[in-house]
Chains A and B, each alone.
Chain A
Amino acid sequence: MGIKGLMKISIKGVRGSIPISGPETSLYGGNTSCVTVVEDGWILVLDGGTGIQRVTLPDSSIKRIDILLTHLHFDHLQGLGFFAPLFDPSKEVHIWAPASATQDLRTRISRYLSPPLFPVLIRDLPCQLSWHEISRSYFEIGPFNITSRSVIHPGPTLGYRIRHKKAVFTYIPDHEPALGPSGLLLDKKWLSGFDLISDADVLIHDGQYTATEYQEKIGWGHSSMEDAIKLAEFAGVKRLLLTHHDPARTDSELTELHEKLIHSLGNGMEFEFAKEGMEIDLGRDI
């Protein structure tokens, strides 16, 4: 059920682009994006990558589940059709995702949740399904106050700032704030995502590439680890977890990169690479 007053963050999927498996990725994990936030009998599921198959409800009697999608790229959606509560008529599932100027949310998700890509049609899902299209929005779900903002990434893409009574958690798994000739504009009015990130207790943020790799991937929609750390530091984040690990990156490479970054960036802010299975009780010590 979660401890009352604490926001429990559980990381279920950390990989970008495509899921992978094998002994060389078992430490950090190979599932694509998914994180849950639980407090006091409420659960938010952030993104529907393959990590969603590892989501268990804190209490089987929970009736309502809210899924907040940052965007509809496949690595954030491909697990959705396998999420058990969708097939449970007693569950009320709310799906929140960025609005589009061209098609409604249900129509866009139907492109995946329909034959030939998926055998079950949305209309045949037995749960009580609700759709919420959002952009620059503020809304409340149970104990959570949620702010969404568009961030730089190809296609409509949101980041989420989730506040509960004691702490702030921000989730932006796909983000390229340094896109452009000036790179990161360290000016809070001109920095994509700043409003979401500012003074967050925990930030889970895109860190797919090294700075060197990023030079070959400009415009692909992702951050270098170095830029993500700079961004978090500038915004006063207390703890940063880098996510959306490149699928080609092995555990030993990630561990080595972490050590190199600590060495090269000094003893600045606290950061680490997100791992599947990691849990954070936010609010306990704040």
Chain B
Amino acid sequence: MASYEIEIILNRQLADCLSIPVFITDTKGNLIFYNEPTNKILGTSFEESGEMKVEEWSTMFKPHDGEGNPVPPEELPLVKTLNEQLPYHKTFWIESLRGVSEKISLTSYPIIGQTGKFLGAVAIFWESKDL
């Protein structure tokens, strides 16, 4: 496989500098990188898991609202970013690996390269402060 575009590589290097969980996906939503702070969300590390297909990682979170109703995929920020190539933000709940609901905020943005081409997306997880 060919190398990733430098805009993707530089986003990975940036993610490696941050203490907040960061995902990087390709244009189809496949998880191509996540940084170390993400390990506690996924319960694995990038070194162990490598890349993950969208169908593999997207079922790990069980996103829901405050009443426990599932949040449909099309309302999740990263899915909206991938579909519309625009940034989004949303606060919702996910079920942690321990089976406990945790309130999180997620900000996602598209990676639009130097020539204007859509290359992928970045999702940043925040401990919810109702941003």
- Asked whether any CB of chain A lies closer than 8 Å to the CB of B116, the reply is yes
Looking at chain A's contact residues, is the secondary structure mostly helix, strand, loop, or mixed?
loop
Interface window among A17-25, A187-195, A273-281: A187-195
Q: How far is the CA of A136 from the CA of B17 in the complex (A)?
A: 28
Q: Is A53 an interface residue when CB atoms closer than 8 A count as contact?
A: no
Residues A179 and B13 in contact, CB atoms below 8 Å apart: yes
Contact of B5 among A100, A150, A156, A185 (CB under 8 A): A150
**Cross-chain contact B3 with A101 (CB below 8 angstroms):** no
**CB-defined contacts of A179 to chain B, threshold 8 Å:** 10, 13
Q: Whose C-beta in chain A lies nearest to the C-beta of B13?
A: A180
Q: In the complex, how many angstroms separate the beta carbon of B29 from the nearest chain A beta carbon?
A: 18
Interface check B54, CB cutoff 8 A: no
Q: Identify which of A136, A152, A156 contacts B9 (C-beta below 8 A).
A: A152
How far apart sit A267 and B16, CA to CA, in the bound complex (Å)? 33
**Closest chain B residue, CB of each to CB of A179:** B13
> A103 contacts the other chain (Cβ, under 8 Å)?
no
| Nearest neighbor of A187 in chain B, beta-carbon distance | B3
Q: Give Cα A273–Cα B9 distance, bound, in whole angstroms.
A: 28
Interface string of A189-232 (1 = CB under 8 A from B): 11111110000000000000000000000000000000000000
A182 interface residue (CB < 8 Å to B): yes
CB <8 Å contact, A152 and B10: yes
Which residues of chain B are within 8 angstroms of A99 by Cβ–Cβ distance? Answer: 114-115
Asked if A110 is an interface residue, CB under 8 A from chain B, the answer is no
Q: Are A152 and B6 in contact (CB under 8 A)?
A: yes
Give every chain A residue within 8 A of B116 (Cβ-Cβ).
101
Look across to chain B and name the residue whose beta carbon is closest to the beta carbon of A198: B3
Say yes or no: A192-B115 contact (C-beta < 8 A), given A180-B13, A181-B16. no
Known A189-B1, A190-B3, A195-B3; judge A135-B9 contact (CB<8 A).
no
Contact (Cβ within 8 A) B9 A192: yes
For the complex, what is the distance from the CA of A98 to the CA of B114, rounded to whole Å?
10
A43-B10 Cα distance, complex, nearest whole Å: 34
Within 8 A of B (CB), among A31-57: none
Binary interface profile of B, 10-34, with partner A (CB < 8 Å = 1, else 0)? Answer: 1011101100000000000000000
B131 on the A face (CB < 8 A): no
| B10 touching A101, Cβ below 8 Å | no
Cβ contact within 8 Å between B16 and A156: no
Taking Cβ atoms with an 8 Å cutoff, the residues of B that contact A are: 1-7, 9-10, 12-14, 16-17, 113-116
What 4 A-B pairs are tightest by C-beta distance, nearest first? A180-B13, A194-B3, A135-B115, A181-B16
A residues sitting closer than 8 Å to B (CB atoms) are 98-101, 135-136, 149-152, 156, 179-182, 185, 188-195
What are 17 A-B contacts defined by CB distance under 8 Å?
A: A98-B114, A99-B114, A99-B115, A101-B114, A135-B115, A136-B115, A150-B7, A151-B6, A180-B10, A181-B13, A181-B16, A182-B13, A185-B9, A189-B2, A190-B3, A192-B9, A195-B3
What 5 additional pairs, Cβ within 8 angstroms, besides A181-B16, A189-B4, A192-B6?
A99-B115, A101-B115, A152-B10, A180-B14, A190-B12
